[in-house]
């Protein structure tokens, strides 16, 4: 049910966005550029609006947003419920899942950190 609701919501947003891009191209360009400022996309001089702006509200855009939102449904953790089997990337670039690292009844300890 959640996936159907997400499909309907994202599809409606894409249809409205695409319609607005056709009816009001300059206004939508300004709106999309504002979104680029928030994500700092516009700070890269090699990444102009002409490269990424027209992809907003396309069919590829729709599929990408659906994929991300549906994946997030699987990754939600709730107290008292089983942990999600989230995909992770090993140091050598291999994609695995958290449960792949469990051994027998031993607890799995995740240690997060960063290095710069």
CB-CB contact of 28 with 20 (8 Å) = yes
- How far apart, in whole angstroms, are the C-alpha atoms of residue 66 and residue 75? 14
pLDDT at 24 over 90: yes
* pLDDT tens for each residue of 73-110: 776 777 888 878 888 888 888 889 888 888 888 888 87
Kindly state the DSSP code that residue 115 receives in the 8-state scheme. Answer: -
Tokens of 50: 């002409």
pTM for the predicted model, two decimal places: 0.57
How many other CB atoms are found less than 10 A from the CB of residue 18?
17
- How far apart, in whole angstroms, are the C-alpha atoms of residue 6 and residue 68? 11
pLDDT at 116 over 60: no
* pLDDT tens for each residue of 40-63: 777 777 777 787 778 888 999 999
Tokens of 109: 């300890």
- What pLDDT, on the 0 to 100 scale, is given for residue 92? 87
């Amino acid at each position: 049910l959640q996936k159907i609701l997400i499909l309907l919501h994202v599809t409606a947003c894409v249809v409205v966005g695409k319609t607005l891009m056709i009816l009001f191209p300059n206004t939508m360009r300004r709106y999309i550029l504002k979104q680029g400022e928030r994500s700092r996309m516009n700070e890269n001089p090699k990444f102009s609006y002409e490269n990424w702006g027209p992809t907003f509200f396309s069919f590829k855009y729709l599929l990408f947003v659906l994929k991300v939102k549906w994946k997030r449904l699987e990754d939600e953790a709730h107290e008292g419920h089983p942990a999600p089997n989230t995909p992770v990337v090993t140091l050598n670039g291999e994609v695995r899942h958290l449960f792949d690292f469990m051994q027998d009844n031993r607890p799995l300890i995740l240690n997060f950190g960063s290095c710069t």
